[in-house]
Homo-oligomer: A and B are copies of this chain.
Amino acid sequence: MALIVQKYGGSSMDGPERIKNVAGRVVNTKRAGHQVVAVVSAPGDMTDRLIEMAYQITPNPSPRELDMLMATGEQISIALLAMAIQELGEPAISLTGPQVGILTDSVHTKASILKIDCSRLLQELEQGKIVIVAGFQGMDAFREITTLGRGGSDTTAVAIAAALKADLCEIYTDVEGVYTTDPRIVPEARKLEAISYDEMLELACLGSKVLHPRAVELAKIYNVPLVVRSSFTEAPGTMVKEVSQMEKKMVVTGVAGDKNVAQIVVHHVPDRPGIAKAIFKALAAENINVDMIIQSAMRDGINDIAFTVARPDLKQAVAVTERVAREIGATGVTFRDDVAKVSIVGAGMISHPGVAAEMFACLAEEGINIHMISTSEIKVSCIIDEELLEKAIKALHRRFNLDKI
Contacts and interface: CB of A to CB of B under 8 A. Distances in A.
Interface of A: 16, 19-20, 50, 53-54, 56-58, 60-62, 64-66, 68-69, 71-72, 75-76, 78-80, 82-84, 86-87, 93-94, 96, 99, 143-145
B84 A57 contact: yes
Contacts of A99: 143-144
Contacts of A87: 57-58, 60
Given A72-B72, A87-B58, A65 B79 contact: yes
Nearest to A61: B83
A66 B75 CA distance: 11
A93 B63 CA distance: 11
A94 B86 CA distance: 33
A57 B76 CA distance: 12
A57 B83 CA distance: 7
Nearest to A76: B72
A87 B56 CA distance: 11
A53 B15 CA distance: 9
A72 B80 CA distance: 12
Contact of A86 (B20, B56, B65, B82): B65
Count of chain copies: 2
15 contacts: A19-B57, A54-B80, A57-B80, A58-B86, A58-B87, A60-B87, A61-B83, A62-B82, A65-B82, A65-B86, A66-B79, A68-B94, A69-B83, A72-B75, A72-B76
Contacts of A79: 54, 65-66, 68-69
Nearest to A82: B65
Contacts of A86: 58, 62, 65
A78 B66 CA distance: 11
Contacts of A143: 99
Nearest to A73: B72
Contacts of A68: 75, 78-79, 82, 94, 96
A90 to B, nearest CB: 12
Given A58-B87, A65-B83, A99-B143, 8 more contacts: A19-B57, A20-B57, A58-B83, A62-B83, A65-B80, A65-B86, A69-B79, A71-B75
Contacts of A75: 68-69, 71-72, 75
The 9 lowest CB-CB distance pairs between A and B, nearest first, are: A69-B79, A72-B72, A58-B87, A68-B79, A16-B56, A65-B79, A65-B82, A57-B83, A61-B83
Contact of A83 (B54, B71, B78, B82): B54
Contacts of A62: 82-83, 86
Nearest to A43: B53
